[in-house]
Amino acid sequence: MSKIYTSILDTIGNTPVVRLARLSPPDMELYAKLEAFNPLGSVKDRLALGVIEAAERDGRLKPGQTVIEATSGNTGIGLAMVCARKGYPLVIVMAESFSVERRKLMRFLGARVVLTPAAEKGTGMVEKACELAAKHGWFWTRQFENQANADIHSRTTAREILAAFGGTGPDYFVTGAGTGGTLKGIARVLRAESAATRIVVSEPENTPMLASGLRQRCKADGTPAESHPLFRPHPMQGWAPDFIPQLTADALDTGLIDAIQPVGGAESLRLARELARQEGIFCGITGGATLAAALEVAKTAQKGSRILFMVPDTGERYLSTPLFDAIEQEMDAVEREISNSTPSCRFSAPASQPAAAAAAASEPPPDGARHFVRQAINDPEQPVVMFALEWCEFCWAVRRFLRDLGLPFRSVDLDSVAMQADGIGGDIRKVLHTLTGQRTIPQIFIGGAHIGGAVDLLDLHDRGELMTFLGKAGIQPAGDLALTARSYLPRWLAARSVA
Ligand code: PMP
């Protein structure tokens, strides 16, 4: 990595293989291939580059043409990076049930995300992508059937594995299957060049689609015509869509799979957490699931076996999923005890004001500031005014609330560079304190009347009393009056009860 790259895309691949220190059973060597080291944090960065560059080469993708794909997230994030760098507009079709972090990441990278109802499952997403591609003439990357998906793994991931293990592969290679690209691409190279490597594919135990030997029906183009009858919802986002994709079927049909290992959802979540806590390896749910399968393999493998398992992505995109369910936002009893073991900055003790600040606050504010405040709160052109701090969370909450309510307002940001220049921001705070008895910011006024701080304003709305003030000031909001104002508070605050 100690060189200068001309494109972020050149940093895809060459991910590390790390030996487990504490989670390996005795007499076994467990190795993790950490795909989170890819620039957008997952194995799918490889696929994204592979399918786009293959289509560029054979002319199916034209300069500036819109790209479309159906994905549970990681493919979309990888494609969003590749399309951003190469200048293709991107539309992603994704079921609403996949984690919100993924949607936001894709939109952050400039992609459009079209959601499909959870009830329509993976087959619904694929159908929608197909329909949109046909209607608008977009290039559909078809990750589930596109051989370029498997090819990039044969060219890169498989080579990296062979090199890491000194030319011949490990004794076992353990992976899951989403599209089957990782599986097919790596397994066929290992078969050809490391015949002794046993290939194990893992699937959710409640969804034994591969183990059953049953296939769902497919259309002529290889896409699924129906859901697989054995599909059940499972927590391994990225594995086992509700059908057996073409690439996975190829791996089954060409004898690339030596064993199919079922793993449980709870065990997968537990092992993802253990990887973090015991090995410092931070991964998503399928990483824990693949480790679960590797540990099952270890139970019957010969002493000293080297077992390599794929860790497909980072844990950061699972904050809103069951993976983080047991992770608290607030301090628990142990943390509170640590906090209380020294006197300063405890929640139980009242905040003290440093002496110098107290002395400065006691000086009367100059007339200019008093005049500014009087004018601002009585301005008929802008009857809703908040005295705010630019980046304070409460002020953001109020701004978002007022915007959604469709209420134009003036935000006087007391800590903006302009207001700090001659100290007027600080002087205005003093005026506000004298005027309202409140030291906190924001302070909100409507039609000259003092409403209070952020919580006061939001509660006034939720009690149905805000309209009275607006009515007196002759203003009618243009937005959604039915919204719940309290929900705009920062989450850390909403969790504690605020008086
Ligand atoms: N894990 C995660 C988190 C994924 O997003 C994916 C890809 N959907 C996989 C595993 C499986 O990879 P593949 O599509 O190559 O089978």
The Cα-based distances of 116 to 62, 94, 121, 431, 468 in angstroms read: 27, 6, 8, 53, 41
Tokens representing residue 316 in the block = 């950061």
**Rounded distance from Cα 357 to ligand 1 centre (Å):** 56
Handedness of CA 128, 130, 134, 136 (dihedral sign): positive
Q: Is the pLDDT of residue 420 over 90?
A: no
Q: Is 44 a catalytic residue?
A: yes
CB-based contact 49:152 (threshold 8 Å): yes
Percent of the chain with pLDDT over 70: 95
Residues in the chain: 499
Minimum CA distance residue for ligand 1 atom 3: 238
**Rounded distance from Cα 135 to ligand 1 centre (Å):** 28
Cβ of 184 below 6 Å from ligand 1: no
Q: Ligand 1 pocket: which of 15, 40, 43 to mutate (most atoms <8 Å of CB)?
A: 43
Active-site option among 33, 44, 184, 430: 44
Q: How high is the pLDDT of residue 58?
A: 96
Cβ of 407 below 6 Å from ligand 1: no
Cβ of 41 below 6 Å from ligand 1: no
Q: Is the pLDDT of residue 459 over 50?
A: yes
Q: How high is the pLDDT of residue 353?
A: 56
Q: Ligand 1 pocket: which of 51, 71, 74 to mutate (most atoms <8 Å of CB)?
A: 74
Q: What is the tens place of the pLDDT at every residue in 13-63?
A: 999 999 999 999 999 999 999 999 999 999 999 999 999 999 999 999 999
**Rounded distance from Cα 310 to ligand 1 centre (Å):** 10
User: What whole-number distance in Å separates Cα of residue 245 and Cα of residue 258?
Assistant: 19
Minimum CA distance residue for ligand 1 atom 8: 238
User: What whole-number distance in Å separates Cα of residue 24 and Cα of residue 31?
Assistant: 9
Cβ of 286 below 6 Å from ligand 1: yes
Q: Is the pLDDT of residue 498 over 60?
A: no
Cβ of 176 below 6 Å from ligand 1: yes
Q: Ligand 1 pocket: which of 182, 209, 256, 275 to mutate (most atoms <8 Å of CB)?
A: 182
Cβ of 180 below 6 Å from ligand 1: yes
Minimum CA distance residue for ligand 1 atom 6: 238
User: What whole-number distance in Å separates Cα of residue 421 and Cα of residue 360?
Assistant: 17
Q: 């060409």: which residue's tokens? A: 254
Q: Ligand 1 pocket: which of 152, 286, 291, 318 to mutate (most atoms <8 Å of CB)?
A: 286
Q: How high is the pLDDT of residue 360?
A: 62
CB-based contact 452:438 (threshold 8 Å): yes
Q: What is the tens place of the pLDDT at every residue in 226-279?
A: 999 999 989 999 999 999 999 999 999 999 999 999 999 999 999 999 999 999
Q: What is the tens place of the pLDDT at every residue in 177-227?
A: 999 999 999 999 999 999 999 999 999 999 999 999 999 999 999 999 999
Q: What is the tens place of the pLDDT at every residue in 163-189?
A: 999 989 999 999 999 999 999 999 999
The answer to which of 238-247, 344-353, 370-379, 401-410 has the lowest mean pLDDT is 344-353
Q: Which of 242-256, 326-340, 343-357 has the highest mean pLDDT?
A: 242-256
Cβ of 43 below 6 Å from ligand 1: yes
Q: What number does the ligand 1 atom closest to the CA of 177 have?
A: 16
Q: How high is the pLDDT of residue 110?
A: 97
- Which H/E stretch holds residue 405? helix 393-405
In angstroms, the first-to-last Cα distance of the chain is 53
Tokens representing residue 433 in the block = 């304190």
**Rounded distance from Cα 229 to ligand 1 centre (Å):** 21
Determine the 3-state secondary structure of 279 from DSSP: helix
Cβ of 309 below 6 Å from ligand 1: no
Q: How high is the pLDDT of residue 422?
A: 84
Cβ of 71 below 6 Å from ligand 1: no
In angstroms and rounded to an integer, the radius of gyration of the C-alpha atoms of the chain is 29
Percent of the chain with pLDDT over 90: 80
Residue bearing the bigger pLDDT, 350 or 91? 91
Q: What number does the ligand 1 atom closest to the CA of 313 have?
A: 3
Cβ of 238 below 6 Å from ligand 1: yes
pTM, 2 dp: 0.83
CB-based contact 259:198 (threshold 8 Å): yes
Q: 């301090």: which residue's tokens? A: 331
Q: What is the tens place of the pLDDT at every residue in 113-139?
A: 999 998 888 889 999 999 999 999 999
Minimum CA distance residue for ligand 1 atom 12: 178
**Rounded distance from Cα 275 to ligand 1 centre (Å):** 18
> Which domains are present in the chain?
9-39+147-224+234-323 (3.40.50.1100), 44-140 (3.40.50.1100), 368-498 (3.40.30.10)
Q: How confident is the model at residue 499 (pLDDT cuts 50, 70, 90)?
A: very low
**Rounded distance from Cα 144 to ligand 1 centre (Å):** 11
The rounded Cα 128 to chain-centroid distance in angstroms is 23
Cβ of 210 below 6 Å from ligand 1: no
Q: How high is the pLDDT of residue 398?
A: 95
Q: Phi/psi class of residue 433: alpha, beta or left (left: φ > 0; alpha: ψ in -120 to 50)?
A: alpha
Q: What is the DSSP letter of 215?
A: -
**Rounded distance from Cα 285 to ligand 1 centre (Å):** 11
Q: How high is the pLDDT of residue 314?
A: 96
Q: How confident is the model at residue 497 (pLDDT cuts 50, 70, 90)?
A: very low
pLDDT (mean) for 406-427: 91
Cβ of 245 below 6 Å from ligand 1: no
